[in-house]
Amino acid sequence: MSTLTAPADTAQTLALDVRDLTVHYGRRSRRKPVPPAVDGVSFAIAPGETIGLVGESGSGKSTIGKAVLGLQSATGGSISFFGDDITHAAPARRRALAAQLRVVFQDPYSSLNPAMTIGETLAEPLRLMGVGKAEAARRARTALERVGLPASAAERRPRQFSGGQRQRIAVARALVCDPKVVVCDEPVSALDLSTQAQVLNLLADLRDERGLSYLFVAHDLAVVRFLAQRVVVLYRGQVMETGAAAAVVEHPRHPYTRALTAAAPVPRPAEQAARRAAREAMGIGAAGLGTPSTAGCPFASRCPLATDVCRTERPALRRVGDSDVACHHATD
Ligand SMILES: Nc1ncnc2c1ncn2[C@@H]1O[C@H](COP(=O)(O)OP(=O)(O)OP(=O)(O)O)[C@@H](O)[C@H]1O
């Protein structure tokens, strides 16, 4: 469905290839069907590339990250890591993958074990990989220095660090195993603005020097614009728009992406008021767009792609300008 799905001959070189991913929570029954949290999402990440996943709360961003990490089962579709299908990888395979596919979570306070020293926390994944104690400790100190902390931080515990320092430690823990792909789930949203900038610059530097790929989950479009080359905009588990970060953030095509960019806070009150007016002119209220469905498609009057009566539940992605945009109208 998505044009972001890579052609078969390049699939081997992709760091991550997510195709038609669907995830349901809870038990599914015919009598009481549960809507999927993620519904037919496709995207691919090349080595060294960052893809930003954006969308309002509940749009399915974290669920995609969890499915990639093997923390939540996919109910449909596939996830490949450097050409290897890991969708339903067995626990042993997942443990082996854990060094190459790492995560940085949002909360720098709960993501570090308060009972362990920083050195123990960083050495733990290396020890699980079979690295000797002295070598693991050496690599932990090197990783701390790389994220701008002294090697002596290894002797201390999480409570002795600020939020920004803890997030640097979380980045060091993700990188200590020399991974290929890092899932960053809102890694700066709990930090103040100047600390956010420091951590984002660190992530960008590390990506560029190591050729890392990031799956970068965020609700803040400015943050995504800074770090990601491409963006996937999600709404209720479906892709609404994808394309180069500059195109999607600065020239959004889909009404939902426009609503997201219009809702992003800006420091200037006049611009904020203009955005609110633009949002209202599009008929987009604070509650969002409503459910795109076969009945009363919300885009019918302003769809740039087709004017047929809407007949599809799951939108197709069509090229508009530089982006791929969800169209809820059938073309057949
Ligand atoms: N463990 C769970 N059990 C049941 N439903 C869940 C669970 N986790 C998430 N969901 C539901 O799945 C949908 C997607 O949630 P998800 O956390 O992926 O969204 P998100 O875009 O990451 O939101 P946020 O920005 O608030 O973290 C939501 O409707 C949510 O209520």
Q: How confident is the model at residue 256 (pLDDT cuts 50, 70, 90)?
A: confident
pLDDT digits (tens, 9 = 90+) for 49-103: 999 999 988 999 999 999 999 999 999 999 999 999 999 999 989 988 988 999 9
Residue 21 lies in a domain: yes
Residue 126 lies in a domain: no
* ipTM, interface predicted TM-score of the complex: 0.98
Please give the share of the chain, as a percent, with pLDDT higher than 90.
Answer: 52
Residue 291 lies in a domain: no
Model-level pTM? 0.84
Mean pLDDT over all residues of the chain? 82
Residue 20 lies in a domain: yes
pLDDT digits (tens, 9 = 90+) for 267-313: 556 655 655 555 454 444 444 444 333 334 445 555 544 444 344 56
Ligand 1 centre and the CA of 11: distance in Å?
Answer: 29
For the chain, what is the domain count?
Answer: 1
Ligand 1 centre and the CA of 231: distance in Å?
Answer: 19
Angle at the Cα of 237 from the Cα atoms of 103 and 91, rounded to 5 degrees = 40
Cβ–Cβ under 8 Å, residues 139 and 176:
yes
Atom number, ligand 1, closest to the C-alpha of residue 23: 12
The contacts of residue 73 (CB under 8 Å, 6+ apart) are 23, 67, 88
Atom number, ligand 1, closest to the C-alpha of residue 60: 18
In this structure, are strands 181-185 and 38-45 parallel, antiparallel, or unpaired? unpaired
Ligand 1 centre and the CA of 257: distance in Å?
Answer: 20
Instruction: Name the nearest CA neighbour of 50 among 186, 204, 155.
Output: 204
Range of the domain at 57: 8-100+177-251
Q: At what angle are helices 118-128 and 133-146 packed, to 10 degrees? A: 120
Domain CATH for 16? 3.40.50.300
Higher pLDDT, 261 or 115: 115
Place of tokens 């890579």: 6
Residue 299 lies in a domain: no
Residue 186 lies in a domain: yes
Report the alpha-carbon distance of residue 206 to residue 236 in Å, rounded: 32
Does residue 122 register a pLDDT over 70? yes
- Closest C-alpha to ligand 1, atom 4: 25
Report the alpha-carbon distance of residue 300 to residue 308 in Å, rounded: 8
Residues with CB under 6 A from ligand 1: 25-26, 37, 55, 57-63, 219
pLDDT digits (tens, 9 = 90+) for 178-188: 999 999 999 88
Q: How confident is the model at residue 110 (pLDDT cuts 50, 70, 90)?
A: confident
Instruction: Name the nearest CA neighbour of 240 among 226, 259, 262, 225.
Output: 259
Does residue 209 register a pLDDT over 70? yes
- Closest C-alpha to ligand 1, atom 29: 58
Instruction: Name the nearest CA neighbour of 65 among 107, 106, 33.
Output: 106
Cβ–Cβ under 8 Å, residues 184 and 216:
yes
Higher pLDDT, 324 or 315: 324
Residue 265 lies in a domain: no
Q: How confident is the model at residue 3 (pLDDT cuts 50, 70, 90)?
A: very low
Ligand 1 centre and the CA of 258: distance in Å?
Answer: 22
Residue 271 lies in a domain: no
Does residue 315 register a pLDDT over 60? yes
Q: How far is CA 10 from CA 5, 7, 44, 211, in A?
A: 10, 6, 11, 18
- Closest C-alpha to ligand 1, atom 3: 25
Ligand 1 centre and the CA of 68: distance in Å?
Answer: 15
Ligand 1 centre and the CA of 238: distance in Å?
Answer: 13
- Residue 80, Cα to own-chain centre: how many angstroms? 16
Exposure string for 292-314, b = 16+ CB within 10 A, e = fewer: beeeebbbeeebebbeeebebee
- Reading the block at residue 166, the tokens are 């803890």
Task: Ligand 1 pocket test: pick from 28, 62, 291 the residue with the most ligand atoms within 8 Å of its Cβ.
Answer: 62
Atom number, ligand 1, closest to the C-alpha of residue 62: 22
